[in-house]
Amino acid sequence: MTDGVEVRGPLGERYDEILTPEALGLLAALQREFGARRKELLRARQERQERLSAGGTLDFLPETAEIRTDDSWRVADPAPGLEDRRVEITGPTDRKMTINALNSGAKVWLADFEDANTPLWANMIEGQLNLRDALDRTIDFTDPRSGKSYALKDDAQLATIVVRPRGWHMEEKHLLVDGEPMSGSLFDFGLYMFHSARRQLAKGKGPYFYLPKMESHREARLWNDAFNLAQDILEIPRGTIRATVLIETIPAAFEMEEILYELRDHSAGLNAGRWDYLFSVIKKFRDRGADYVLPERNAITMTAPFMRAYTELLVRTCHKRGAHAIGGMAAFIPSRKDPEVNKVALEKVRADKTRESTDGFDGSWVAHPDLVPVCREVFDGVLGDKPNQRDRLREDVKVSAADLLNFKATPGDITEAGLRNNIDVALRYLATWLDGAGAVAIHNLMEDAATAEISRSQVWQWIRNGVKLKEGETVTRELVERILEEELANIRTELGDAYNEPRYNEAVALFKQVTLADEYSEFLTTPAYVRFP
């Protein structure tokens, strides 16, 4: 037992290999050093929210202008395995998907403890075991249901692993340090560092991370300090870690350059996390009336002026500082059973990746192994043999604060079908999440924590602002409750024997909590997490 550390989660098979006294010692050191600062930064988010709800706005920070105008600094050179990132596959860390993702032909695998993951204790610990086993090449297994066997290809053919820990808002309630639940971010980061950093270095790569849902450069500084402490404790040189930051909140879009600067010795660039970005826009301006109400989710595309402003600025900022700019997730999922669905998905993804590669992104994300070839082909078209296009400076891009906040120019409506879709998708997703899976295909689209946040937040915002549907009816609690019952009945009929009554009952309760309550829940996953043992 490590002093002051209490493991509250059950100890499954081989958990002791992950929760060693030395690993717990690193977690305790990280939590003790940074736990209070994390809470302060979360309070700062709240204060900014209060200012926005009271009519304030967002702008580039005057106090950091010097960082933006100083042309002399650049981020670290790309680390081994991260020079060429033209295709990145994302996904959860269960055993089968770990092998499939590593074998997929993508350059990078984002091993996800965030949007695509339900933070069940078992998922968190077994995910770490799977990552470690993959590095030791002891992960081969046979699926007991299908009988299919899985094995890793040769190391040279495997994707580079980049781990995405949970965001700063999440806690790991199964691990108490001095009586308090520790930060989920530091838990995921610390365990991966402890078990996998040296293994990665032995393979000529390194401990690499994707950092989610940040709202300010001060949060990036916290990560940078955590990197330095972990590297010092583990006696790994500072600067070994590399981290790509997801720009996926609207406040962070105003601090891209400062975020790169804070992490410059550890930076591996920025990624345009479009789904959480949309969620953040809705969340931050949720109380601000009609001018801030976006069209229904499926109507908002990456060509909406405010989305273009954000992605164009991201490429410009990254390349100015020598950093990679990585594109986001097109949600269309291919099908091995339905050729028409497959064709549509491939066309949509091709169009999305074509826009990104033309804009100057150095690579992009896919959600499924069958999308790797199309993404690779599109980026091959602009990159050829070059590993990236960081030399495309995009000095033509001029983006103002008003461009980033230009929500009014977004084409699209709010219809009853849009409201029904938000309710239906949120219910199905919540039932899946509560069952332990954080990503699922619904109506041929990938759904994860970020997309579900958009659906439930739109419902809350439309009620709060008394939005009128295109058909004429005003969105009220009563209307949402009526449609909820209707959509639930449809799901029950469609699923038949597979309908899981208790799970859906729980999903309904959670949905009501996060859409009908006066008070807005900052994150869907916070009240959802309370429902786990």
CB of 249 to ligand LL5AMS7Z, least distance (A): 10
φ and ψ of 319, to 5 deg:
-70, -30
Nearer to ligand ACO, 151 or 509 (CB): 151
Q: What are phi and psi of 309, to 5 degrees?
A: -60, -45
Which of 192, 227, 275, 520 touches ligand LL5AMS7Z by CB under 6 A?
Answer: 275
- Considering the complex, what minimum distance in angstroms separates the CB of residue 170 from ligand ACO? 14
- When the beta carbons of 165 and 328 are compared against ligand LL5AMS7Z, the nearer one is 328
* Residue 274 contacts ligand LL5AMS7Z per CB under 6 A: yes
**CA angle, 430 as apex, 426 and 435 as ends, to 5°?**
155
- Restricting to residues 444-473, name those near ligand LL5AMS7Z by CB under 6 A: 450
Which residues contact ligand ACO by CB under 6 A? 89-92, 96-97, 100-101, 112, 115-116, 275, 329, 333, 336, 367-369, 439-441, 446, 448, 450
* Crossing angle for the helix pair 501-515 and 416-434, to the nearest 10 degrees: 120
Q: Does position 285 bind ligand LL5AMS7Z by CB under 6 A?
A: no
Options 38, 164, 274, 321, the catalytic residue: 164
E strand or H helix at 7 = strand 5-7
Q: For residues 484 and 508, is the Cβ–Cβ distance under 8 A? A: yes
Amino acid (1-letter code) at residue 46? Q
Q: How far apart are CA 42 and CA 48, in angstroms?
A: 10
Cα separation, 460 vs 454, whole angstroms: 10
Residue 251: CB minimum distance to ligand LL5AMS7Z, A: 15
Pairing between strand 5-7 and 325-326? Answer: unpaired
164 is catalytic: yes
Instruction: Say whether residue 307 binds ligand LL5AMS7Z (CB under 6 A).
Output: no
d(CA 239, CA 106): 25
Site for ligand LL5AMS7Z in 474-493 (CB under 6 A): none
- The separation between CA 384 and the C-alpha centre of its own chain, rounded to angstroms, equals 29
Q: Phi, psi at residue 504, to the nearest 5°?
A: -70, -35
Which has the closest alpha carbon to 254: 522, 37, 48?
48
- Dist CA 334 CA 353 (whole Å): 15
Span near ligand LL5AMS7Z by CB under 6 A; candidates 235-243, 268-276, 315-323, 380-388: 268-276
**Min dist. Cβ of residue 234 to ligand LL5AMS7Z (A):** 28
Give the nearer residue to ligand ACO in terms of CB position, either 283 or 288. 283
Binding mask 205-244 for Mg ion (x = CB under 5 A): ----------------------------------------
Number of residues that bind Mg ion (CB under 5 A): 5
Identify the CA nearest to 507 among candidates 418, 444, 447, 446: 447
Tell me which stretch binds Mg ion (CB under 5 A): 179-187, 219-227, 265-273, 352-360.
Answer: 265-273
Which residues contact ligand LL5AMS7Z (rule: CB under 6 A)? 115, 246, 248, 273-276, 328-329, 450
Q: Looking at the annotation, which residues are catalytic?
A: 164, 448
